């Protein structure tokens, strides 16, 4: 578990959610390496 691991327990993440008209974006910033984010698309369209 990362929450009790000495390597990770003092790290934090910042999440910014923004809405501009019909556009919505989420930016996540983490300390250190987290996961390989480059395998995910830069943007994704969702219809509701």
Choose the weakest-confidence range: 10-14, 30-34, 39-43.
39-43
Q: pTM of whole model > 0.75?
A: no
- What confidence tens digit (pLDDT) does each residue in 5-19 have? 887 778 888 999 999
Residue with tokens 């390989």: 36
Closest C-alpha among 33, 28, 25 to residue 14: 28
Alpha-carbon gap, residue 48 to 42, rounded angstroms: 20
DSSP SS3 for 37: helix
- The answer to whether 2 and 8 are in contact (CB under 8 A) is yes
What does the alpha-carbon distance between residue 12 and residue 29 come to, in Å, rounded to a whole number? 9
């Amino acid at each position: 578990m990362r929450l009790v691991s000495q390597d990770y327990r003092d790290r934090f993440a910042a999440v910014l959610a923004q809405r501009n008209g019909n556009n919505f974006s989420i930016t996540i910033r983490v300390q250190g390496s987290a996961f390989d984010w480059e395998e995910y698309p830069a943007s994704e369209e969702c219809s509701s």
